[in-house]
Amino acid sequence: MRKPCCEKKGGMNKGAWTKQEDQKLVDYIHKHGEGCWRSLPQAAGLLRCGKSCRLRWVNYLRPDLKRGNFGEDEEDLIIRLHALLGNRWSLIAGRLPGRTDNEVKNHWNTHLRRKLMQMGIDPNNHRPRPAVSGLNKSLGSNSSSTCKPENSQEEEEEEEEEEEEEEEAGSLLQCSSKPKSATSFLPDLNLELTIGPPLIEEQRHLSHVESAQLSFSNFPTSVS
């Protein structure tokens, strides 16, 4: 068995960071740059594990972070990207300059999820939810097949589609044909995407999302 990356030895600080700790971390990274998180704490004189240092830097101390409320355009983009990519927060955050995956994830869980639910949309799959209070009707539920109470066939279909969406997230991002899934549940979610040449594996995700954003930026925001 390998030992944990952050050995839980005593004397390690946990919980909220102090200003002094922040300062030490910032100073160290300014001098030496990011990376080597495992050895950083000792080198910087911090009683934290490397993981904790990385998280603090990435989510809070990085100078290029945009703090404050999410704009409507940002929220809309998150919703669209989530429909496409699912809970891939780092990818989603990558398309939101100055935002971190943690921030996006928190915002999704506290604001956007609820928002979608209030609209009668299942935040997990971005489809109209099975009628609970008649909300779906007003949303013009076009999903004759999506609102089955039991999760038999539909669930399988969903899984299949989710897989497909992942695959298509990039390639489809460009297809002149609309991605069948997300748009069909969210009529106002325009995912018209274009396709480029086949991508090498390591570029797939990024490229997909990049093209997604390019396309998104042309559309009016719709969820608010």
Partner DNA sequence: AACTGGTACAACCGCAACTTA
Partner DNA sequence: TTAAGTTGCGGTTGTACCAGT
For residues 125 and 141, which CB has a smaller minimum distance to DNA in the complex?
A: 125
Long-range CB pairs of 205-208, under 8 A, 24+ apart, other chains included: 205/88, 205/91, 205/169, 205/170, 206/91, 206/94, 207/170, 208/169, 208/170, 208/171, 208/173
| Binding-site member from 28, 41, 46, 52 for DNA (CB under 7 A) | 52
What angle in degrees, to the nearest 10, is found between the helix axes of 72-85 and 204-216? 140
Q: Nearest CA to 48 among 23, 3, 15, 26?
A: 15
Those residues with Cβ within 8 angstroms of residue 60's Cβ, 6 or more apart along the chain or in another chain: 17, 22
Alpha helices, DSSP H only, in 35-71? 40-44, 50-56
Answer yes or no whether residue 184 interacts with DNA by CB under 7 A: no
For residue 111, the 8-state DSSP code is: I
109 touching DNA, by CB under 7 A = yes
Q: Which of residues 55-94 bind DNA (CB under 7 A)?
A: 55-56, 59-60, 69, 87-91
For the CB of residue 175, give the shortest distance to DNA in the complex, in Å. Answer: 23
Whichever of 26 and 55 has its CB closer to DNA, that residue is 55
Q: Give the range of 43-51, 166-174, 192-200, 206-214 binding DNA by CB under 7 A.
A: 43-51
19 binds DNA (CB under 7 A): no
15: contact with DNA by CB under 7 A? yes
Q: Which of 74, 75, 103, 161 binds DNA (CB under 7 A)?
A: 103
For DNA, which residue of 101, 154, 165, 168 counts as binding (CB under 7 A)? 101
Span from 23-31, 96-104, 138-146, 169-177 in contact with DNA (CB under 7 A): 96-104
Q: Which residues pair with 128 in a beta bridge?
A: 121
Collect all residues with Cβ–Cβ distance below 8 Å to 38 and sequence separation of at least 6: 5, 50
Which is closer to DNA, CB of 59 or CB of 184? 59
Based on the shown chain and the rule CB under 7 A, indicate whether residue 110 belongs to the binding site for DNA: yes
| Secondary structure in 3-state letters for 186-210 | CCCCCCCCECCCCCCHHHHHHHHHH
Contact residues toward DNA (CB under 7 A) are: 2-3, 5, 13-17, 35-38, 48, 50-52, 54-56, 59-60, 69, 87-91, 101-103, 105-107, 109-111
